Chain A
Amino acid sequence: DAGVTQSPTHLIKTRGQQVTLRCSPKSGHDTVSWYQQALGQGPQFIFQYYEEEERQRGNFPDRFSGHQFPNYSSELNVNALLLGDSALYLCASSLARQTYGYTFGSGTRLTVV
């Protein structure tokens, strides 16, 4: 049973560029959440998608946007990249109405130069 798959694993972007990160949830899961983990910090919630809609959003600017597709996979888009956007971006999937917990992917390491 495949877990959460994220792509790419690493990428380097220039300040001002745009980036798209992708996530395939664990089989059977229908909810996807995105987290940003800066170096030496705990992950911070960006937003959550369920039924192709953004259900909750953390304290992140509108430069951060997302999408969920009918097959439950998701994309995270970041526009006008800043140096401070350099971080590990984690995708977590879960099944709505189940309280067991999230399954996390290994993340995408984004470096903005």
Chain B
Amino acid sequence: AQSVTQLDSHVSVSEGTPVLLRCNYSSSYSPSLFWYVQHPNKGLQLLLKYTSAATLVKGINGFEAEFKKSETSFHLTKPSAHMSDAAEYFCVVSDYRGSTLGRLYFGRGTQLTVWP
């Protein structure tokens, strides 16, 4: 079975400081992992994905995540937070199946607040 645990429900940082959003996953097989961002009253936007290529994945807006199989983690980082990064972030695992993409399993989300 697939599942993700986002270790922090809320993270607050000052503008210009690093961001770390933590995620652990559980998967019965080699996982596909994603981070999505959701701004208020908006849909989900894909930040980055891991599908068994390079373990350090670079995404949009300066975000990156590192896949660590030994720790079953897929933490999201950004060197310097911007006010526009304030949003809800979801760590997601997929049970990719053959010819279809499979279903996505979402974590509960981490609300990122950025202080000026």
Given the complex, which residues of A lie within 8 Å of B96, measured CB to CB?
99
Partner pick for A56 among B41, B51, B102, B106, CB 8 A cutoff? B102
Q: 1/0 per position for B2-43, CB-CB distance to A under 8 A?
A: 000000000000000000000000000000101010000111
List, in ascending order, chain B residues with CB within 8 A of A40's CB.
Answer: 109
In the complex, the answer to whether A107 meets B103 with C-beta atoms within 8 Å is no
Contact indicator A45/B104 (Cβ below 8 Å): yes
The residues of A that contact B82 with a CB separation of less than 8 Å are: none
Q: Mark A16-45, 1 if CB is under 8 A from B, else 0.
A: 000000000000000101010000111111
Residue pair A45, B99 in contact (C-beta under 8 Å): no
Contact B107 A101 (CB under 8 A): no
Given contacts A42-B107, A44-B106, A45-B105, contact A104 B44 (CB under 8 A): yes
Contact indicator A99/B44 (Cβ below 8 Å): no
Per-residue interface assignment for chain B, residues 56 to 100, with 1 indicating a CB less than 8 Å from any chain A CB and 0 otherwise: 000000000000000000000000000000000010000010011
Q: Does A50 contact B (CB under 8 A)?
A: yes
Q: How large is the interface on B (under 10, 10 to 19, 20 to 34, 35 or more residues)?
A: 20 to 34
A105: Cβ under 8 A from any B Cβ: yes
Query: Which range holds the interface residue count of chain A?
Result: 20 to 34
Q: How far is the CA of A48 from the CA of B36 in the complex (A)?
A: 19
Q: Is the CB of A31 within 8 A of B101?
A: yes
Q: Are A50 and B100 in contact (CB under 8 A)?
A: yes
B99:A96 contact, CB within 8 angstroms: yes
- For the complex, give the distance between the alpha carbons of A44 and B106 in Å: 7
| Nearest-neighbor residue (CB-CB) of B102 within chain A | A56
**Minimum distance in angstroms from B30 CB to a CB of chain A:** 12
Complex interface: chain B residues within 8 A of A33 (CB): 103-104
Ordered by A's residue number, 12 sampled pairs between the chains whose C-beta atoms are within 8 Å are: A4-B43, A41-B108, A42-B109, A43-B106, A45-B104, A48-B103, A56-B100, A92-B44, A99-B49, A101-B49, A102-B46, A105-B43
